[in-house]
Amino acid sequence: MYLAVSLPFLNEIVALFFVSVVIAYFSYRLKLVPIAGFLIAGVVIGPNALGLVKDQTLVDMLAEIGIILLLFTIGIEFSLDKLSKIKNAIVFGGGMQILFTLSAITGIFILMDVSWQAAVYTGCLVALSSTAIILGLLSEQGKTDTPVGRLSLAILIFQDLAIIAMVLFVPILSGQSDSLIDVFIVLGKAILLIAVVLLLARKVVPWFLEKVAQTRRQELFLLSVMAICFGTAALTNLADVSLALGAFLAGLVVSESHYSDHALSEILPLKTIFNAVFFVSVGMLLDLSYVLEYPLLILGISASILFLKFFFTTGSLMILGYPIRISAASGLILSQIGEFSFVLERSGRVAGLTPGGYGEVGSQLFIAVSVLLMLLSPGLLGISDKLGELLARSPLGKIGRKATKESDESEQTHLEDHVILIGYGPAGRNLARVFKDTGIPFVVIEMNPEPIKEMRDNNIPVVFGDATRTPILEHANIRRAKLCVIAINDPKSNPTIIKLARYLNPTLQVIVRTRYLSEVGILEEAGADKVVPEEMETTVQLFSTVLSAYRISGEEIQRYVNELRNEDYQILRGSMSEAHLMVLKGLDEEGLHTRACMVKSDSLAAGKSLADLRLRNEFNITVLTVNSEGKNIGNPSGDYVLKPGDRIVMMGDASKFAEAGVLFRDSSNPDELAAT
């Protein structure tokens, strides 16, 4: 007998996700970021509009999970070493930003005859920025590890620490408590907890994850990562410390492991789901009747807060010596009000405090202004760099003595014009040794944990993870890569890797190893430029194809191949003491900076002339040759119209090829492929 089980919240969850998908889809069509769509969806389905979702508690619980997962992934991306480089920005920059903003808002409201308690409380609400939105947007645009991204993170980390003291200070402001002892006790717990987490990050967790990874069970690895994430967050909660701070610390713990990249790729799908719920929950708080009643007041308050936060954040960073270009960009990004302000607002409401001391009107004005500034955040990020550059050309550009060399270090050390070698089996190991001896830049992606330590000991750059996942390929900087060599024998995964790599970088040349001739057609159909069968000959042909891509002459390549075959592949089989035979004289800058790609029928380039594409003017890319129907056209004129199937050879910087990739991407592929 079948017993039906009633789930009272199921209909609300269905309504939440269905409406979110629909509105997010139209936001995508209108070129709006998904965050804006989720905020709008929350307004539509909330109790103050259609009322499709009435259980705000359920949504808040799901949203809290989204915040935990977001902060956890950000922690993974920022290692302890990276954070140590911005410790001054965290302590002094974040401290000054909070102090200046809090003092200004408090002073303004006191002049308006608002009690000092309500004024200080309102200043705390305004001083906080949105960790979820800012770090989410920076991550989407690949700007997390830029100088602006790191300084923004520094300010946000201090704000997340400050919210602990602010929440504890609310009862004192409301007159419910007269003691500061509780504040210092919780702060002491937070400091002790951070010390314990740092110890675990260095000693325990890397060892634990290595043991789990050696089982090669993906479900066990994912469960272990989730246990670390929520376990650390739970410990911080027991210590009355912010859940978000605990999640961020958990991410830092995992970041010290060799397997952090794989952990990130495993948890991203979960983060995406729950993070969307968070933004929906924020939109649900807004009552549209107040927006219609006070539109000009809301716009005026929003503009004032934006200006004040931009001014004080920029000034705080400039006091530390950062140049106006970076300081202003960070200041503009941090100009909205954050999600933790809603946590503080709820604590104040329970204690009898409201924004500005204006009761329900003050609360709704605060929510309306916050949602509006959140909606503006993607646009603010989009113009932040331009504003920074504009101010840098003004007299303010001479202020700021701190050199940006250290800040730009990570950007300068990123691989480009390199080979991504997938697999470190016999063929992959041989190729890696040859690449290293010949000076060809490369990075290895490997799923087997056993060779990881060997590669790191030999200074071979390696990413542990599944190459069918977008984050893993992006960590290998695929958008600036020249070649992708797939040296694994996995008939199921290889077509997926080829399609995903081709989507992420349409100018990439993909070379695949396969054991069987029957698989050649399938791999070529997936988008491989060259498929090489057979075991030992695979290494020779892969090597030959790579050298050809780096503009080594055909005669020189053939000489190397003949030497390999005449010696019965001894150079590849045994010691590399004879590797001097592989030293290349033809490897130069011109060879490194070339790309070759085929024009797809559904790409933007198909049917367009070279002049229409503006490759030279907008991307500083030079077209060297076009191969059309077997004929080579050298230095083609601007009026040459590209046809589907044409193979175009270009020269330019790796960063410009990454920008121009949209012109050659096959638009028939679903955009969701990038979220794999």
The more confidently predicted of residues 278 and 314 is: 314
**Minimum mean pLDDT range among 177-191, 211-225, 383-397:** 177-191
CA distances from 350 to 127, 340, 347, 353 (A): 20, 16, 5, 7
Q: State the Cα–Cα distance between residues 333 and 313, nearest whole angstrom.
A: 10
pLDDT score, position 582: 34
pLDDT score, position 672: 46
Q: State the Cα–Cα distance between residues 647 and 32, nearest whole angstrom.
A: 34
pLDDT score, position 91: 85
Domain boundaries, the chain: 19-398, 414-591, 593-675
Number of Cβ within a 10 Å radius of residue 302: 21
**DSSP string of 638-655, one letter each residue:** TTPBP-TT-EEEEE--HH
**Minimum mean pLDDT range among 94-98, 247-251, 505-509:** 247-251
Task: Quote the DSSP letter at residue 241.
Answer: -
pLDDT score, position 313: 93
pLDDT score, position 98: 93
pLDDT score, position 312: 93
| Residue 538, pLDDT above cutoff 70 | no
Average pLDDT for 298-313 = 93
Q: State the Cα–Cα distance between residues 396 and 209, nearest whole angstrom.
A: 49
Q: Are 206 and 456 contacting, i.e. CB atoms less than 8 angstroms apart?
A: no
Fold of the domain spanning 593-675: Alpha-Beta Plaits (3.30.70)
pLDDT score, position 8: 61
Number of Cβ within a 10 Å radius of residue 514: 22
| Residue 79, pLDDT above cutoff 50 | yes
**DSSP string of 123-188, one letter each residue:** HHHHH---HHHHHHHHHHTT-TTSHHHHHHHHHHHHHHHHHHHHHHHHHHHHTS---SHHHHHHHH
The more confidently predicted of residues 533 and 163 is: 163
| Residue 16, pLDDT above cutoff 80 | no
**Minimum mean pLDDT range among 302-311, 416-425, 446-455, 662-671:** 662-671
Element (H, E) at 623: strand 622-628
pLDDT score, position 517: 62
Token pair for 599: 């024009």
Q: State the Cα–Cα distance between residues 271 and 230, nearest whole angstrom.
A: 13
Please tell me which of 161-175, 273-287, 533-547, 602-616 the model is most confident about, judged by mean pLDDT.
602-616
Q: On the CB side of 394, how many CA atoms lie within 13 Å of its CA? A: 10
Token pair for 462: 């390696």
**Minimum mean pLDDT range among 72-81, 352-361, 660-669:** 72-81
pLDDT score, position 72: 79
Query: Largest Cα–Cα distance in the chain?
Result: 93
At 97, the pLDDT band (50, 70, 90 cuts) reads: very high
| Residue 589, pLDDT above cutoff 70 | no
pLDDT in tens, 399-446: 654 444 444 444 434 577 889 999 888 778 888 887 887 778 899 998
Please tell me which of 10-19, 397-406, 462-471 the model is most confident about, judged by mean pLDDT.
462-471
pLDDT score, position 183: 63
pLDDT in tens, 613-658: 888 888 888 888 888 887 888 888 888 999 988 888 888 887 788 8
Average pLDDT for 114-130 = 90
pLDDT in tens, 143-175: 777 788 888 888 988 887 787 678 777 777 777
- Residue 354, classed as helix, strand or coil, is coil
**Taking the domain 414-591, which CATH number applies?**
3.40.50.720
pLDDT score, position 568: 44
At 185, the pLDDT band (50, 70, 90 cuts) reads: confident
**Minimum mean pLDDT range among 375-379, 523-527, 538-542:** 538-542
Q: Do domains 19-398 and 414-591 have the same CATH topology?
A: no
CA distances from 538 to 76, 217, 430, 578, 642 (A): 37, 30, 11, 20, 33
pLDDT score, position 176: 60
Which has the closest alpha carbon to 438: 534, 532, 557, 531? Answer: 557
Evaluate the CA torsion angle 85, 322, 97, 77 in order and state its sign: negative
Best CATH choice for the domain 19-398 from the list 1.10.10.10, 1.20.1530.20, 3.50.50.60, 3.20.20.10: 1.20.1530.20
**Minimum mean pLDDT range among 22-36, 155-169, 484-498, 646-660:** 22-36
pLDDT score, position 146: 79
Q: Are 348 and 172 contacting, i.e. CB atoms less than 8 angstroms apart?
A: no
| Residue 577, pLDDT above cutoff 60 | no
The more confidently predicted of residues 121 and 669 is: 121
At 142, the pLDDT band (50, 70, 90 cuts) reads: low
At 33, the pLDDT band (50, 70, 90 cuts) reads: low
Q: What is the CA radius of gyration of the chain?
A: 28
pLDDT score, position 547: 73
Which has the closest alpha carbon to 133: 101, 158, 154, 156? Answer: 156
Pure H helices in 215-323: 218-238, 243-255, 260-284, 288-293, 295-319
- Residue 230, classed as helix, strand or coil, is helix
pLDDT in tens, 192-245: 777 777 777 667 777 787 778 777 777 787 788 888 888 877 777 776 666 666
At 307, the pLDDT band (50, 70, 90 cuts) reads: very high
Question: What is the pLDDT of the chain when averaged over all its residues?
Answer: 78
Strands lying side by side in the sheet with 530-533: 462-464, 442-446, 419-422, 483-486, 509-514, 530-533
At 587, the pLDDT band (50, 70, 90 cuts) reads: very low
Q: Are 86 and 79 contacting, i.e. CB atoms less than 8 angstroms apart?
A: no
- Report the share of the chain in percent with pLDDT over 70: 82
